[in-house]
C-alpha cells in the first residue's frame, strides 16, 4: 500500500507505512528511532525548530504553503475549501512522536490480523461483493481473496479507516512532523485530488498519518494507482467498493503481481540450513538444499526467498514475486504474511502448520540497544546501538551464535541477551 512503517493500527486497522504511510513494521517490526538516537534526527529536530521560528506559528506557515500551492496550479476554490478553518492537530504530532517500548512479536500480530473473526468477516465480505471482486480479479490478475484480505488488514473491511481530516493531518505533519518534506508533497497531492473532483475536502478522511479510505492510500499513491472502478468519473476509495477493489488490485498488479502464482508456501528446512542466505534462488535450487514444502510440492518459482520471521524455532516460508508485491503495499514481513495467510483462510486453504516460539518474550528497545552494545563490546561490530534489529545487527548476532554453538538464525531472544550479559 501505499506499506504500513502496516495504525497506529496494531490490530490490523490504521497504520503508517511505506507506500501509504511510513512503515512502523519491517522484517517483523521496524521501530521509529527516538529523536535523540542519531545526529541525523537531531538535525531534523533543529530544522523543525528553525521552521517554527521562521514562520512564528502554524497559520503563518499555512499561508505561505497556500501561496505555493496556488503557484502550482491549485485553484482558489480548492484552496478555500481545503484550508479555510483548518487546524493544527496536536494529537497528530503526539502519534507521530509515539515510540512503542516493546516490539510486537509476529505471532501476536498475526493472532489479531488473522483472527477467527477477521476470517469470518472476510468470507462474508467476499460473498457480499463476489461479483465485483471477481471482475477485478479478471481485469488485474489479482485473486479476489487477496483484494479482500488487503481490505481486511488495512481497515477491517472499512469499519475503521480513520476519521482524521487528511488535510489537517498532512498540514500538521508538514509544519511540525518528523518528515516534513514528505508530508508537504503528500499535502500538495491531496490538493490536486480535490482539484480534480475525486473527493470533496471535507470528505477526505483517513488515518492520522495521511492514509485514506478503505485500503489506506496516501495521496501520491492515490494519484498513481487509484482507479474509477464503477465508471462514474470519480476515483472514490471512501464510498465506492468497485473503486476500492479496482484501485487495490491495480496497485498490486503494478507492483509486479503474477497471475496464477501463489504468494509462497510454508516449508521445512534441513538441520544444516544456512540462515545467512539473503539472495533469491529458484525453487529447484532451494530444493537442492533440502528445503521441502510442508504440504504438497514447492511452488515453481524462478526467483524466491526463504524467510524465518521467528528464527529457526518458528515456521519457515518460501516466498515468490507475489509476496514481494504485497511488500510493495507495506514493506513489512509481518504485514505481507498477514495478508497472505488471511487470503488463504478466506479461500478455505490451510493455515500455518508449524508452531511459533510463543514462550519467547519480545525485546524492548532498550534490550535491543543493550544487545547491540554487548555485541560491539565482544568484537561483533554491528554499528550504532540504535535499538533497531537491522541487517548489521542480525549478521553480528549470527556470528555470536555460531561461536556459541547455537543455530545462527539471527533471531534475537531474551536468552541470547542474557548470554551476552
Q: Which residues are identified as catalytic?
A: 154
| Lookup: cell for 392 | 548489521
Say which residues have a Cβ less than 8 Å from residue 317's Cβ, sequence separation at least 6.
Answer: 264, 265, 266, 267, 306, 307, 308, 309, 337
d(CA 118, CA 153): 9
- DSSP string for 118-168: HHHHHHHHHHHTHHHHHHHHHHH---HHHHHHHHHHHHTTTT-S--EEHHH
| Lookup: cell for 127 | 460473498
d(CA 367, CA 375): 12
| Lookup: cell for 251 | 496497485
d(CA 168, CA 191): 12
Q: Burial letters for 193-222: b for 16+ Cβ neighbours within 10 Å, e otherwise?
A: bbbeebbebeebbbbbbbbbbbbbbbbbbb
| Lookup: cell for 40 | 541525523
d(CA 41, CA 415): 32
Amino acid at each position: 500500500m501505499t506499506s504500513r512503517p502496516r495504525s497506529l493500527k496494531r490490530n490490523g486497522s490504521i497504520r503508517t507505512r511505506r507506500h501509504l504511510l511510513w512503515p512502523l513494521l519491517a522484517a517483523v517490526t521496524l521501530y521509529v528511532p527516538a529523536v535523540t538516537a542519531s545526529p541525523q534526527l537531531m538535525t531534523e529536530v533543529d530544522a523543525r525548530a528553525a521552521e517554527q521560528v521562521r514562520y512564528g506559528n502554524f497559520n503563518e506557515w499555512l499561508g505561505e504553503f497556500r501561496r505555493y500551492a496556488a503557484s502550482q496550479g491549485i485553484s482558489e476554490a480548492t484552496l478555500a475549501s481545503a484550508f479555510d478553518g483548518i487546524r493544527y492537530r496536536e494529537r497528530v504530532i503526539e502519534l507521530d512522536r509515539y515510540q512503542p517500548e516493546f516490539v510486537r512479536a509476529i505471532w501476536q500480530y498475526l493472532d489479531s490480523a488473522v483472527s477467527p473473526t477477521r476470517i469470518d468477516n472476510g468470507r462474508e465480505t467476499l460473498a457480499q461483493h463476489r461479483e465485483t471482486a471477481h471482475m477485478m480479479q479478471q481485469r488485474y490478475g489479482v485473486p479476489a481473496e487477496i483484494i479482500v484480505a488487503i481490505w481486511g488488514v488495512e481497515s477491517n473491511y472499512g469499519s475503521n479507516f480513520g476519521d482524521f481530516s487528511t488535510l489537517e493531518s498532512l498540514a500538521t505533519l508538514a509544519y511540525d512532523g518528523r518528515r516534513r518534506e514528505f508530508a508537504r508533497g503528500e499535502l500538495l497531492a491531496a490538493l490536486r485530488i480535490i482539484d480534480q473532483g475525486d473527493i470533496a475536502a471535507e470528505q477526505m478522511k483517513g488515518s492520522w498519518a495521511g492514509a485514506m479510505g478503505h485500503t489506506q492510500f496516501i495521496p501520491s499513491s492515490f494519484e498513481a494507482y487509484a482507479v474509477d472502478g464503477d465508471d462514474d468519473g470519480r476515483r472514490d476509495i471512501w464510498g465506492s467498493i468497485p473503486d476500492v477493489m479496482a484501485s487495490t488490485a491495480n496497485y498490486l498488479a503494478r507492483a509486479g503481481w503474477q497471475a496464477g502464482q501463489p504468494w509462497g508456501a510454508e516449508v521445512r528446512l534441513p538441520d544444516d540450513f544456512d540462515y545467512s542466505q539473503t539472495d533469491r534462488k529458484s525453487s529447484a535450487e532451494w530444493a537442492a538444499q533440502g528445503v521441502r514444502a510442508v504440504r504438497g510440492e514447492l511452488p515453481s518459482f524462478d526467483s524466491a526467498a526463504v524467510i524465518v520471521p521467528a528464527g529457526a524455532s518458528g515456521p519457515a516460508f518460501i516466498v515468490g514475486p507475489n509476496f514481494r508485491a504485497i511488500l510493495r503495499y507495506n514493506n513489512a514481513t509481518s504485514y505481507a504474511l498477514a495478508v497472505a495467510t488471511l487470503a488463504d483462510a478466506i479461500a478455505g486453504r490451510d493455515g500455518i502448520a508449524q508452531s511459533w516460539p510463543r514462550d519467547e518474550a519480545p525485546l524492548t528497545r532498550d534490550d535491543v540497544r543493550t544487545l547491540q552494545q554487548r555485541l560491539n563490546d565482544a568484537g561483533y561490530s554491528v554499528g550504532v546501538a540504535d535499538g533497531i534489529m537491522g541487517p548489521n545487527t542480525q549478521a553480528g548476532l549470527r556470528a555470536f551464535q555460531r561461536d556459541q554453538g547455537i543455530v545462527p538464525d539471527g533471531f534475537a531472544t531474551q536468552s541470547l541477551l542474557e548470554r551476552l550479559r
